[in-house]
Amino acid sequence: MTHPARAPSVWSPRRLARVLDHSVLSPVHTEQEVFRGCRMVRELGVRTIIVKPSYLRLAVRLLEGAPVHIGTVIGFPHGGETVRMKAAQIREMRAAGAVEFDVVINIGAMREGRERVVAREVEAAVAAARGGLVKVIIETGYLDDEQKVRAARLAAAAGAHFVKTSTGYGLRGATVEDVRLLRDALPLTVGVKASGGIKTLEETLRLLEAGAARIGTSSTRAIMEAALERQPVHA
């Protein structure tokens, strides 16, 4: 799997929809939000919906036959579970129909230099996913630039398909600077997912231009409506 180093400067709404991961991850989201989210991603042609593990089977049922990837989060949002716990959750969710897994690293271990812990959990996640896409969340708001680069490269070496900036529940969300830093640190075979606080088309385009290959957002409809009004969309 390969990913572009930099996004194209012109986006059709259809192409834009295929780089969006619609998130239904708020602590207060109910089944109704999952119903609405599934209906919307089908309607708009969005690539992926990301739901909490407890709603994974519901999303799989609602999107049966639709060209939408269904993903979930692991170790979300703090990453404090053990390697075995994260791997077990991935295996359960894979069996239930998930094909994408956004996995939070052990942030504390990364901050104190216990890099082997991070490498082991990413390796275990990739093995447990059995061909599913693994996006490793490093939570950039808690790391300095050197730690971000180290975490990204550890994830890539351990087999991650994407490195993701943020959960949206940390100190801050995605920034253009972090996306550029990660893109420059990673091989082209590993993508960057920008996530956390992305609410507008303008923010989305800036992050794509900086090198993101996926955008995680709960503001999918607003972004797509803006894109449809402005098509073709110039970054």
- Judge residue 143's burial from the number of C-beta atoms within 10 Å of its C-beta, 0-12 exposed, 13-18 middle, 19 or more buried: buried
Stretch (H or E) spanning 184: helix 176-185
Q: What is the 3-state secondary structure (H, E, C) of 95-113?
A: HHCCCEEEEECCHHHHHCC
Residues in the chain: 235
Strand partners, 101: 72, 134
**Contacts for 130 with CB less than 8 Å, ≥ 6 apart:** 91, 94
Residues belonging to the active site: 102, 164, 193
For residues 198 and 217, what is the distance between their CA atoms, to the nearest angstrom?
Answer: 6
For 164, list phi and psi in degrees, rounded to 5.
Answer: -110, 140
**Rg of the chain taking only CA atoms, in angstroms:** 16
Separation of alpha carbons 179 and 215, rounded Å: 11
CA angle 37, 42, 48 (to 5 degrees): 70
| Interatomic CA distance for residues 113 and 143, integer angstroms | 11
